[in-house]
Amino acid sequence: MHGAGNDFILVETSEMKRDWSQLAVAMCDRHYGIGADGLLLLLPSSVADFQMRVFNADGSEADACGNGLRCMVKHFVDGGLGNPKAREVSVETVTGVRRAKIHKVAGRLTKVQVGMGNPKFGENDIPVVIGQGSGDTVGTKSMIAYPLTVDGKELRLNLLSVGNPHAVYFYQHPVSSFPLARLGPKVEQHRIFPKGVNFEVARVLNRREIEARVWERGVGETLACGSGACAITVAARLYGYVDSKVDIKLPGGTLKVEWDGVGEVLLSGPAETVFTGEWLE
């Protein structure tokens, strides 16, 4: 499945004793496996309609994944795994229970809007280690804006968590010209981020549109990133660049994000099944 080109292998299972991390590396290999940005597990849950686990292409487990969440909800609904009359699906994730609103036309699922939780801004929430008094704060939510020099280029990173860590850099030129392949891994693995970070390069086009590229922790550059789109929107709104509803234009497509400046971030966008098959071990 994919959400705006951010692609995943989805497996229904009740088995957690298997080494899913190792299997994710094998499956996600684009030359010797199926090829994907990550592996999604749809598991039983005692507190929600189902449980979601996400393993990146490098085998690491992700804390949050907005595109993967929408793909899983679409699979759950289209596969008849829940109540066909339900207009909301609950999903247990590593960072808590998330809720998704289902929109149908003539019985066909046309839109999934997922709640991504409230953004967090504390050094321990992200996490980031920069020391007392380092960086500036932005907006009433006190987002950390931290200058970091990487390969001789100074980047003013806006740091926050949307269930996973993000560093958003606002660029004044078309994002296609930014050297993401060179700087992305150096930001991701910088010593100030003890658990790594997702790095977003964004350019504000107007109060309702932003273009962006994303270097995902544990994956590399992806065609889209749901949590990254949310992080960009939150950072831009705290600066007063945008209104509450924003289209994030990514290489793989457009994701729509809503944030009122106070509560939960809402994400919607495409989710498509590409093919089904068997993995022969």
Identify whether 65 is a catalytic site residue.
Answer: yes
Phi and psi for 186 in degrees, rounded to 5?
-75, -35
DSSP class of residue 60?
P
The Cα–Cα gap between 127 and 251 comes to: 28
> Which entry of 28, 71, 225, 230 is annotated as an active-site residue?
225
CA angle 184, 34, 252 (to 5 degrees): 45
Identify whether 71 is a catalytic site residue.
Answer: no
> Which entry of 28, 65, 71, 230 is annotated as an active-site residue?
65
The Cα–Cα gap between 182 and 171 comes to: 16
Q: Say what the alpha-carbon torsion angle 202, 271, 217, 195 is, to the nearest 10 degrees.
A: 110
Nearest to 63 by CA among 220, 185, 227, 210: 227
The Cα–Cα gap between 32 and 16 comes to: 24
Region at 152 (left for phi over 0; alpha for psi -120 to 50; beta for the rest): left
Q: Which residues are catalytic?
A: 65, 225
